[in-house]
């Protein structure tokens, strides 16, 4: 689980809304804590069904989804969740995360190098830099409304 960033870390900027979708409760809480410490508004969900409800029920836009590639629960992968959000008319940038092999990632529809991906276990500084880079548009895969 990521530990909080030191209070003097220069990466402390945010403000956008991020949805964290992770089925490991401890990791999800840790990710949420790090992102909130960086100033982001964070929604979180343990599975795809809850994630969809969070996005649908959120009053404003969700700027980024940080989603595990392999999700338990209703058997929906992170890639399928992103695709269904797009079909429903939601547009957001995407950052996948996984601890699985490239073979498993391909089976779940994520090609390494084709979409932003953080490999678990990543330090909070990598999370902070990658999220900021994607939100700033310097390294992004964006879901778009059809």
Q: How many domains does the chain fold into?
A: 1
* For range 85-102, the mean pLDDT: 91
Domain CATH number, residue 58: 3.40.50.2300
Mean pLDDT of the chain: 84
In a domain, 143, yes or no: no
Residue 145 belongs to some domain of the structure: no
User: Which phi and psi angles does 17 have, rounded to 5°?
Assistant: -100, 130
Q: Inform me whether the pLDDT recorded for 75 exceeds 80.
A: no
Whether the model clears a pTM of 0.85, i.e. scores above it, the answer is: no
Asked whether residue 64 is assigned to any structural domain, the reply reads: yes
Instruction: Tell me if 65 sits within 8 A of 91, measured CB to CB.
Output: no
Percentage of the chain with pLDDT > 70?
84
Give a yes or no: residue 101 inside a domain: yes
pLDDT digits (tens, 9 = 90+) for 53-73: 999 999 999 999 999 998 876
Model confidence at 13, pLDDT cuts 50, 70, 90, reads low
Domain of 58 in residue numbering reads as 17-138
User: Helix %, strand %, coil % for the chain, to 5?
Assistant: 35, 20, 45
């Amino acid at each position: 689980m990521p530990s909080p960033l030191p209070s003097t870390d220069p990466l402390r900027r945010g403000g956008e809304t991020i949805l964290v979708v992770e089925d490991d409760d401890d990791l999800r809480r840790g990710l949420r804590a790090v992102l909130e410490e960086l100033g982001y508004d964070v929604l979180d969900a343990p599975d795809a069904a809850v994630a969809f409800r969070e996005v649908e029920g959120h009053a404003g836009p969700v700027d980024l989804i940080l989603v595990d590639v392999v999700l338990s629960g209703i058997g929906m992968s992170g890639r399928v969740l992103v695709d269904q959000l797009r079909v429903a008319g939601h547009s957001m940038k995407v950052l996948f995360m996984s601890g699985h092999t490239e073979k498993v990632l391909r089976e779940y529809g994520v090609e390494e190098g084709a979409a932003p991906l953080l490999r678990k276990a990543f330090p909070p500084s990598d999370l902070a830099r990658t999220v900021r880079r994607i939100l700033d548009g310097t390294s992004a895969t964006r879901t778009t409304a059809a």
